[in-house]
Amino acid sequence: MIQSFLEKFISLASENPNEIPSFTQIYKDGNLLAEKFNQVEENTNTHMHSEILCIESAQRIIDNKFLNDCIMLTSIEPCLMCAGAIIHARITEVIYFLEATKTEGITSLSIESIYSKNHFPKLTLQHSNEIESIVKSFFKNRRG
């Protein structure tokens, strides 16, 4: 699952050099349910994060707003907007490969906020030097 994710991320990042390199997959029972790459730059739309697009796709596929027993793999720690969607969709676990360092991510939610939810996913950081390198290169090139 993880190796497949990393290979697909690297491929899509090279195919989409003008898009923020964020890729997300959702698995249920070990089977790939949905996958999406960011479309923020392509559509000039700030909410078209890979996590949001992937959640929407998975919900359509299983015809349910809840993604119970699903695991999300995503290249970068989900932002607060995506965190809200993840929580409301009841995704069981989120595995991410690069911490959000410039903005607040899902791990920045306060303990009080987390405990006030009736669902909160297990969070797993599995750092990837490859993803870090691709993301850093993207933003370095963007800034000139």
User: Which residues carry out catalysis?
Assistant: 51
Return the axis-axis angle of helices 50-62 and 80-89, rounded to nearest 10°: 20
3-state secondary structure of 42: helix
Bridge partner list, 74 = 24, 96
Bridge partner list, 93 = 71, 122
